[in-house]
A = this chain, B = another copy of it.
Amino acid sequence: MNKLAADYKVLGGKNVTERIFNFSAGPAMLPLPVLEEAQRDLLSLPGVGMSVLEISHRSKIFEDIIQAAEADLRTLLGISDDYHVLFLQGGASTQFSMVPMNLMEKGGKADYLVTGLWSKAAVKEAKKVGTVNIAASTEEENFVRIPKQEEFKLDPEAAYVHYTSNNTIYGTEWHRVPEVGNVPLVCDASSDILSRPMDVSKHALIYAGAQKNMGPAGVTVVIIRRDMVKDPPPDMGTMFAYKTHVEAKSLYNTPPVFAIYIVRLVCKWLLGLGGLEAMQKINEEKAKMLYDVIDSSDFYRGHAQPDSRSLMNVTFRLPNEELEKKFVKEATAAGLDGLKGHRSVGGLRASIYNAFPKEGVKALVDFMKEFENKNG
């Protein structure tokens, strides 16, 4: 066991051998208490006699789990009864298609605010259904910032406006909800949902793959306003219609039981922390520690413009690529894993989602300072 992992063990006060700091962009670290509860009960849920990996999705036990997950999500995000909460499969990539298939008439039109590769992937799928208007994009600046409201070229007759609340690759994040008038607003919140409070009421639909802040890979949460649930065209596959899953309360077919169970444990953990205001405060503290190092140094250079900086993914460059490679290699050896940046930006990326411990950020800060001293 390396030193940092040993520290973590001591800090956590737990008998966790070997756990390292995983800065990966997702799937990402889960809260230790969540993993511990899942481990304890893996052979048999208390009083049930079956593993959660084995229970029927039609059983009372699972009904309790999925209802608790939904109730806790409603509490955490302040989701009103005007919205359905769905647990689906297929990730945000499937939502890239389901959103236009369900919300746009075939041959209709929609506005997209483009802030990175994931927004562009969403545009690609929407274009298969109708006409896409790029209402704003910062692609020419390599997505270093979120577009300003006055840059928007919105179409008041668009079926909806789509945006990506956090951009994992570029390390940028929306710190306001885009103003789109009366047009329904759709948000891909995969990489920052549950990291801070969110004004759900300003949205018509929010979707998010779970694997950053909510749980493991394999479940996608969709929050959809009741008036957005329409009859699908007769030739649409049943599984691709939101209406199917609304009517069946996410149980049209076998849902990803275990992933939903973990979401339920993560929600419980968040409520125990004090909810999303408390989580946001912690996330702000963690991000500030890294941005402070970047801002006080000529050695490190942030990719995102300060007012667009993400609390989830901190992207930065070093003076040259050779040093960047050296940084990744030495950091990995020190138990700081997954820091290599995406090829679109290069350099380094520290993903510090909800469950990423402050001790891990502190370890990276110390490592960065030491690395600069040695190589600066």
Contact = CB atoms under 8 A, between A and B. Distances in A.
A27 B54 CA distance: 5
Contacts of A375: none
Contact of A49 (B18, B51, B92, B96): B18
Interface in A1-47: 5, 16-20, 22, 24-30, 32, 35-36, 38-39, 42-44, 47
Contacts of A258: 216-218, 258-259
Contacts of A254: 26-27, 91, 209, 211, 217
A236 interface: yes
Contacts of A253: 91-94
Contacts of A237: 94, 96-98, 101, 125, 128, 240
A89 B218 contact: yes
Contacts of A183: none
Interface stretch (A55-63, A159-167, A301-309): A55-63
A181 interface: no
Contact of A43 (B27, B39, B257): B39
Contacts of A90: 89-90, 94, 239
Contacts of A32: 43
Contacts of A38: 42, 53
Interface string A67-104: 00000000000000000000001111110111001000
B257 A218 contact: yes
Contacts of A101: 237
A19 B45 CA distance: 9
A255 B19 contact: no
Contacts of A26: 56, 254
A234 interface: yes
Between A29, A47, A93, the greatest number of chain B beta carbons within 10 A of the residue's beta carbon is seen for: A93
A235 interface: yes
Please state the number of chain copies in the assembly.
2
B18 A44 contact: yes
Contacts of A335: 49
Contacts of A89: 89-91, 94, 218, 256
Interface in A330-348: 335, 337-338
A231 to B, nearest CB: 14
A176 interface: no
A335 B209 CA distance: 37
A289 interface: no
Interface of A: 5, 16-20, 22, 24-30, 32, 35-36, 38-39, 42-44, 47-51, 53-57, 59, 89-94, 96-98, 101, 124-125, 128-129, 209, 211, 216-219, 234-240, 252-259, 262, 335, 337-338
28 contacts: A16-B44, A19-B50, A22-B54, A24-B55, A26-B56, A27-B53, A27-B55, A27-B57, A27-B257, A28-B54, A30-B51, A35-B51, A53-B262, A56-B338, A57-B217, A89-B94, A89-B218, A93-B252, A94-B237, A94-B239, A96-B238, A97-B237, A97-B239, A98-B237, A216-B256, A218-B258, A240-B240, A256-B256
Given A28-B54, A91-B253, A128-B237, 17 more contacts: A5-B49, A17-B44, A20-B50, A24-B55, A24-B59, A27-B53, A27-B55, A27-B257, A30-B51, A32-B43, A39-B39, A89-B90, A90-B94, A91-B239, A93-B253, A217-B255, A240-B240
